[in-house]
Amino acid sequence: KGLSTTGALFRALSENAPVGITLARGGRTVYANRAYLQLFGYADPSVVLGQSLLNQIAPECREQIADHVRRRERGEAVANSYETVGLRQDGTTFLFRVDVARIQLEDGPANLAFFTDVAEHRTAERELSQALARERAASFRSARSAGAS
């Protein structure tokens, strides 16, 4: 009963998570949540399941990511967080951040990864920075006009 409850909890958490989540073994995707599928422009999970995770990586970044995967599979030290360029189903590319953890499951080790679209975060940061700059400028003008009277 404990394992089925744990599995149901994992599915509920991962399927409702606001970030993309995958489980991979040997460089192949064995699980992908809805947010991951949306991030990469897929509607049908069967398109990515069992396939090389490199299919969602821009061609110019594949060798570097393949090296990360090989080294992680061998248990070597490799960055657990990094940014790279993704390839959506429609052929467009985008910058994303991935955070990876090597985990031990009942049937062996796997790589658990979390994916975040960096462009969305950068846009939000830029908008915040612009709003703060406008606020500072308005405060400065207000202080100058008060001092001039």
89-97 mean pLDDT: 96
Query: Is the pLDDT at 7 greater than 90, yes or no?
Result: no
Indicate the average pLDDT of the chain.
Answer: 89
Cα 52–Cα 55–Cα 59 angle in degrees, nearest 5: 130
Backbone angles phi, psi at 95, to 5 degrees: -85, 130
What pLDDT band is residue 62 in, cutting at 50, 70 and 90?
very high
- Nearest in space to 106 (alpha carbons), one of 12, 1, 7: 7
> Which 3 state secondary structure label does DSSP give 50?
coil
What pLDDT band is residue 4 in, cutting at 50, 70 and 90?
low
- Predicted TM-score (pTM) of the model is 0.78
Q: Which residue has the tokens 């949540």?
A: 33
User: What secondary structure does DSSP assign to 105-116, as a single string?
Assistant: ETTEEEEEEEEE
